A and B are shown apart, each in its own frame.
Chain A
Amino acid sequence: EAQVTQNPRYLITVTGKKLTVTCSQNMNHEYMSWYRQDPGLGLRQIYYSMNVEVTDKGDVPEGYKVSRKEKRNFPLILESPSPNQTSLYFCASSLSIGAGRGYTFGSGTRLTVV
């Protein structure tokens, strides 16, 4: 089944403890992206990647890192999480760059930083 898989689904952590949220897609998609969803703000892009070893900042990159060493994986790294990073995170992928292409989303990771 074609899908984007995120892990974990739920995570509670403490301020400053490094964590990684994994994202993997099995569709050979070139384009991958991370979004965070917050009440009243909708979804905002954190980082994106157009292909292996090509990543760039989205609208809200502060406090996050990403890497794209393999085409299928695009982990989101929080080196020193803070409470304002408590949010619902979504990974998304698309076959290639193209304004008309839809994205496939993962099921989300709900992160709480205390």
Chain B
Amino acid sequence: GDSVTQMEGPVTLSEEAFLTINCTYTATGYPSLFWYVQYPGEGLQLLLKATKADDKGSNKGFEATYRKETTSFHLEKGSVQVSDSAVYFCALTNSGGSNYKLTFGKGTLLTVNP
């Protein structure tokens, strides 16, 4: 079945540092890829998405590029802020089935220190 693997956390950075959170996937067909963010005590919010190969999703300074050849969707941000501290989930949905469920990675906790 489909699966998502993302780098284990926690990740601790200083403010203005560069962020990369790695994400790779296994899926049949042509999945759509997502990054969700969960701030403390809140639900998940869609951060960005990409629906086909070579698409780049971007939002709030975060970017990720859909790389079919490496089955990856790494999340990057050039300069993180304390307010970016959260858990980040990589996820996919797959058009190969009827469910269109989100298959999630296990999440990466990011802490940004001032």
Interface of A with B (CB < 8 Å)?
A: 4, 31, 33, 35, 40-45, 48, 50, 56, 58-59, 90, 92, 94, 97-108
Contact = CB atoms under 8 A, between A and B. Distances in A.
B46 interface: yes
Contact of A105 (B44, B98, B106): B44
Interface residues on B, range: 20 to 34
Given A42-B105, A108-B43, A102 B49 contact: yes
Interface of B: 30-32, 34, 36, 42-46, 49, 51, 89, 93-95, 98-102, 104-107
Contacts of B104: 42-44
Residue with the greatest number of chain B CB neighbours at <10 A, chosen from A31, A43, A58, A90? A43
A101 B33 CA distance: 10
A99 B93 contact: yes
B105 A33 contact: no
A42 B36 CA distance: 12
Top 3 nearest A-B pairs by Cβ distance? A100-B51, A105-B43, A102-B46
Nearest to B48: A102
A27 to B, nearest CB: 14
Given A43-B102, A45-B102, A108-B43, A99 B31 contact: yes
A66 to B, nearest CB: 14
Contacts of B99: 45, 48, 56, 58
A99 B94 contact: yes
Contacts of A31: 100
5 contacts: A35-B102, A48-B99, A102-B46, A105-B44, A106-B43
